[in-house]
Structure 1
């Protein structure tokens, strides 16, 4: 009988009426047998199935070459290519098993299991309990795939143990007398080891540790512990031990709400001071609180509070190398054609030599902007803004800005794009320390623009050229001497903002006067997925712009020449070049070059930047920096040594001073079950002194405790 399928009801598992009664009382589903042949031994009350046997009950499926069911005891014995499929999809393999009639309890020989993530668990023998627990003897576990050429070869890593418990209810795998082997070599013994079930994405326990060395800390060991509080919240405790400094306790708490989220992190340390070190005494630490909430469909509330005990703490312990710590609170409204924002903003200054007294507390800041619906008569735009600034040295000012605008765009039959616009801005400022406490200004502006897009090409080459020009009319001065310039100290003139009506950032500054902007941009698209785009342009004014910062490229009647060039060649090469040239002798005033090349297995990236008159972020703002030149290069080079090994190096240098800023070398191994990273970095102090040397090592065994997105240690990281 081929593919015989027999439905054995309760009478199949009952040798007598007395044996049948318990089965009938349970109300369980009947067996379903499928096999090539089924034999009944009525004298011994046995049912034997042979040839592609499949036995199913209550979601569990048992397959084997032969299954014998003893109706007296309710025990099923399966031999040969045994497979047990659990209701959740987990698959167990064995040479032979003895199971109860519900397929939940029993004994196994030569047990093997392939878990949901592809990990493997094997044992010489074991016991299954209740369909949710396996007690295994002489077991081995690994998340590594067997070698394709030699499956008998030892995997990259495996854990061997005298006894292993796999509890699917607790979602935990526990080992007794465990030995970790790498490439078949024992490297670590532990009398007890436990990790989450590989199918679990979130489970309380230790995460992958990071070990490193830093000049100012000594040996640094970080051993995070993750607490899965619930599906919507978790916490991570991060004890850090520094051999030369002491103990640092850090942590993070995260929670999701129906309409928002909350993140809280911080640290606390009492660090031993080194000789001649200028640092505060007593506890040091930091606190960071971030939150977001959607109040209805139109409003969003956001905020962040970020503070450190002193300027050098975060960088010293390797938690953050930022130069400033922002704090803010704001409410944003999103409407059909309007946007509103009210908020306060503050910053903690960490740069050496820069006093926190110069950083203003902005609050409250108000912005409301709405735009008319498009119509044949053009679209209107009407922003309104206001702010109050307070400095710790007790000088304050408040500002209110109202602005309205109108814009109309048309295309002629010949393809010319014409655009006209008009706007009016009014500012009111009050400053406690000013000679005239109250100042007002009106800034009218009108503009007209033209562009013409030309396109053409051949079969394998497409080209576009678009000349563009615009005229902007406005009053001659923005009265910069009478208004506080708080949010526009860094004016960056480049091709991307050549045709912006106001190229000054923020609200304090405003570009005025009469000018004409002109330029051309072009692009080439070729076969083979390569693309080139470029643009160049300039501005001319009736008179010099005394409101623009010196050396910004906008402070003279004829501006500097700005442009950009971009090149992409599939996924192999990307080049970006931005420049600003002196209008008189075409010398480079500002240059930025970004290059990335991927020539598998070699990859290379570089960034070069040069600027004249750009403030040094490590120095306080002031006129002494106006003529200062900054030139820097950052180069990275890496290579894949084979399918798993790769190396990476990075070097950063200040070409203006001839000083190295950063150097690093990293080594990485990664396969389907193991990640290893080792890095060495040397960071040179901007203010001089001994460089900071950092060595970091990170080893991640898949499924043995790690979180996706955990920060790495390769050059550029902070460990």
Structure 2
């Protein structure tokens, strides 16, 4: 009875419209019909005339899953009541514990009274009341009750929770499925901050209930302070919605809505938002934020499972201008680039299918939306297959890729007099089919040899404008075909060196690939192979291009050394170093390309730059890694990524140094050197301070910084964060923001803006 009463207070914490987490049904008496009582005590007195049994001294009772200890228990066979006194502890079948000075209940623990009670539930919440009563098997009444959550109390009984709820009277009605609080107040740090004369909320049996949710708060530079009032609407068992009204001191009234519907196969979420800006002039002049007054968006996202292997869905956004969702920080829609897509996927035991259509929203402050208009509308199909049985003793795999791209405006720019074309106006389509066979032989002595054969064919249709100013030779044909045959051999010789306290594996690796020249190198549209970084991670790749639009041609050898070590004191080491050699034919990385993809890559010469990667993991929590590319002539460092991190009980920190030397032809005219730091320090129990800084060394500028402080004892979480981002191009409406979060376990959250750091957990 009292366990049910304990959790009856849980909805009082203002989580009014959500399903209650209290499990009152688990606390209701459920006495088996054949239950037998086991009794242990120092003394037992049975009065045959009055039909009373009195037990005293170290009383222990086990009955139907209920366990009770007390100093004295008196049981009346006539009335069927149990009266226990003195240091009572009752453990219910569900694990909840009830402590009291006196307990007068029926013999099935269904109805009765308890004086000076205290309850500890299995979810580490606590309730205390002067007395409690259960009436008519359906109504629980608690008088002068206090409720709190106290996870740390499980290990520290002296810990005091920062908050609690006090109510003069709490009534849980099993017939109406409601919980009524009378004269309740929420106290924080021992001080009342919210008073509720009367509050009636649904109990645990009502899974979803319409009503107001916790208010939200925010503060940003150009929007000002804001208060959000959300209303939850339980439409049906499979549909619900949330409508949120937000008042912003600088921009007026923002209305948001989210409609959710579940189906047997999946779910669909529809979102909308709109505002009539009160002060557009607050934003930077000549931006879309300053020019638009009526702004809005509609977003739709769906995920459906046709069967265990096949799924389809979509994620699309339509908005009045190209920066609304980012400016107003609408959750899940506030990124710089939003990918609208529809997809169909299938996954088998040895094959996969993925078909998608893409449209890209670029959220920036440009009133003409030039960057978005230059984005492609694309449809992509990928299929992969692995033969279930060995073919000639080896593994046979096949790939198919179909890509169709349409662009309404050419995407090009000039850097130091070099024109780069990221996309051409018009349409192009490509069909690619590729198959690969490889088999590994282990030679006596431990040498591993893997021969490889691969064949690929492409059919390309082109209906694009000619790239005027292109230094290469772009094809004039409307349709072309190309192919590539590759024969390769990989040799590995792992050497194991072991001592009593460590083990080391040193593995020399050599690869040779023989193939003809790349056909139409630089003469075809390049949409999916524009990004290219040569480092240790792709040293041993057969085709180092990132997509299908370019094919690596010409004969090449890759040579390197891989090391893995484990030391007895807990240290782990790993390293790769190597170089690639162009052996014959035309070097694909030295040929012209619409985006100059191979320029300054380190592979454009017959001897590539040297690439290395070193990593270390220490048992103290320190981790470090270094990745570098060194010039093959003078060993000057061309690209560096170095990270040093530490994660301990009180400290968490990371520092990353990135250095990229100028690649003028590739579109990067100056050196880029940057340091990113992030750290968190737990300076007291439950208290932490954290921050991050990003520093541009070349421009001597802090491009991003932030700091925050948090308290988290698992029941109460408080966090406040300040973040600032340099915006020289005025593409971000709010350069700085302040976020805060106040969360009470079992009750709910109060949020003000964003309190997350990308570089910290």
Into which bin does the TM-score normalised by the smaller protein fall? 0.7 to 0.9
SS at match of 1:625: coil
**Which digits, 9 at most, give the CA deviation of each residue in 1:232-277, with x for residues without a partner?**
7765555443222223334545566555444444433333333135
**Which digits, 9 at most, give the CA deviation of each residue in 1:531-566, with x for residues without a partner?**
111111121213543154312222333222211111
Matched-pair contact (CA < 8 Å) for 1:115–1:199: no
Aligned: 1:635 with 2:646:
no
Matched-pair contact (CA < 8 Å) for 1:666–1:715: no
- Residue 191 of structure 1: aligned partner: 197
- Residue 117 of structure 1: aligned partner: 123
Aligned: 1:431 with 2:468:
no
**Residues 640 and 228 of structure 1, relative CA distance in 2, 3 Å threshold:** farther
Using CA pairs under 8 Å that are at least 6 residues apart, name the structure with larger relative contact order, 1 or 2.
Answer: 2
- Residue 381 of structure 2: aligned partner: 365
Q: 1:24-63 to 2 correspondence within 5 Å?
A: 32=37, 34=39, 36=41, 39=45, 48-51=54-57
Matched-pair contact (CA < 8 Å) for 1:144–1:157: no
SS at match of 1:464: strand
In structure 1, C-alpha distance between the alignment counterparts of 2:562 and 2:183, rounded to whole Å: 70
In structure 2, C-alpha distance between the alignment counterparts of 1:152 and 1:470, rounded to whole Å: 66
Aligned: 1:485 with 2:534:
no
In structure 2, C-alpha distance between the alignment counterparts of 1:62 and 1:533, rounded to whole Å: 59
Stretch moving more, 402-411 or 160-169:
160-169
Matched-pair contact (CA < 8 Å) for 2:57–2:71: yes
Q: Which of 395, 400, 412 in structure 1 is aligned with 2:431?
A: 400
**Residues 235 and 552 of structure 1, relative CA distance in 2, 3 Å threshold:** farther
In structure 1, C-alpha distance between the alignment counterparts of 2:352 and 2:536, rounded to whole Å: 28
Stretch moving more, 224-233 or 638-647:
224-233
Give how far 1:496 is off.
1.0
Q: 1:544-583 to 2 correspondence within 5 Å?
A: 544=587, 545-546=590-591, 548-570=597-619, 572-583=621-632
In structure 1, C-alpha distance between the alignment counterparts of 2:759 and 2:268, rounded to whole Å: 25
Matched-pair contact (CA < 8 Å) for 2:310–2:346: yes
**Which digits, 9 at most, give the CA deviation of each residue in 1:37-67, with x for residues without a partner?**
5555566665545445567877766664444
**Which digits, 9 at most, give the CA deviation of each residue in 1:479-534, with x for residues without a partner?**
13332101111112111111111111121111111221111122222122111111
Aligned: 1:645 with 2:687:
yes
Stretch moving more, 145-154 or 664-673:
145-154
SS at match of 2:288: coil
Stretch moving more, 352-361 or 320-329:
352-361
Aligned: 1:162 with 2:168:
yes
In structure 1, C-alpha distance between the alignment counterparts of 2:177 and 2:671, rounded to whole Å: 60
Q: Which of 342, 345, 351 in structure 1 is aligned with 2:355?
A: 342
**Which digits, 9 at most, give the CA deviation of each residue in 1:164-208, with x for residues without a partner?**
235678887653222333333334433345788799999877666
SS at match of 1:411: strand
In structure 2, C-alpha distance between the alignment counterparts of 1:148 and 1:443, rounded to whole Å: 66
Stretch moving more, 75-84 or 494-503:
75-84
Matched-pair contact (CA < 8 Å) for 2:339–2:359: yes
SS at match of 1:703: coil
In structure 2, C-alpha distance between the alignment counterparts of 1:339 and 1:148, rounded to whole Å: 48
- Residue 382 of structure 1: aligned partner: 398
**Which digits, 9 at most, give the CA deviation of each residue in 1:325-355, with x for residues without a partner?**
1122222233343323333222212256652
Q: Which of 579, 582, 585 in structure 1 is aligned with 2:634?
A: 585
In structure 1, C-alpha distance between the alignment counterparts of 2:209 and 2:90, rounded to whole Å: 26
- Residue 464 of structure 1: aligned partner: 505
- Residue 619 of structure 1: aligned partner: none
Q: 1:478-557 to 2 correspondence within 5 Å?
A: 478-541=519-582, 542=584, 543-544=586-587, 545-546=590-591, 548-557=597-606
Matched-pair contact (CA < 8 Å) for 1:68–1:76: yes
Q: Which of 587, 591, 606 in structure 1 is aligned with 2:655?
A: 606
**Which digits, 9 at most, give the CA deviation of each residue in 1:667-712, with x for residues without a partner?**
11111421111111112214159972211221111111259x9997
- Residue 740 of structure 2: aligned partner: 697
Matched-pair contact (CA < 8 Å) for 1:614–1:630: no
- Residue 8 of structure 2: aligned partner: none
- Residue 700 of structure 2: aligned partner: 658
Matched-pair contact (CA < 8 Å) for 1:444–1:475: yes
**Residues 127 and 669 of structure 1, relative CA distance in 2, 3 Å threshold:** same
In structure 2, C-alpha distance between the alignment counterparts of 1:300 and 1:288, rounded to whole Å: 20
Aligned: 1:241 with 2:247:
yes
- Residue 5 of structure 1: aligned partner: none
In structure 1, C-alpha distance between the alignment counterparts of 2:444 and 2:230, rounded to whole Å: 67
Q: 1:52-131 to 2 correspondence within 5 Å?
A: 64-69=70-75, 75-84=81-90, 86=92, 88-100=94-106, 102-131=108-137
**Which digits, 9 at most, give the CA deviation of each residue in 1:456-475, with x for residues without a partner?**
03222322221111112222
**Residues 348 and 681 of structure 1, relative CA distance in 2, 3 Å threshold:** same
- Residue 288 of structure 2: aligned partner: 278
Q: Which of 291, 296, 310 in structure 2 is aligned with 1:299?
A: 310
- Residue 19 of structure 1: aligned partner: none
- Residue 18 of structure 1: aligned partner: none
In structure 1, C-alpha distance between the alignment counterparts of 2:156 and 2:314, rounded to whole Å: 57
**Residues 66 and 684 of structure 1, relative CA distance in 2, 3 Å threshold:** same
**Residues 266 and 659 of structure 1, relative CA distance in 2, 3 Å threshold:** farther
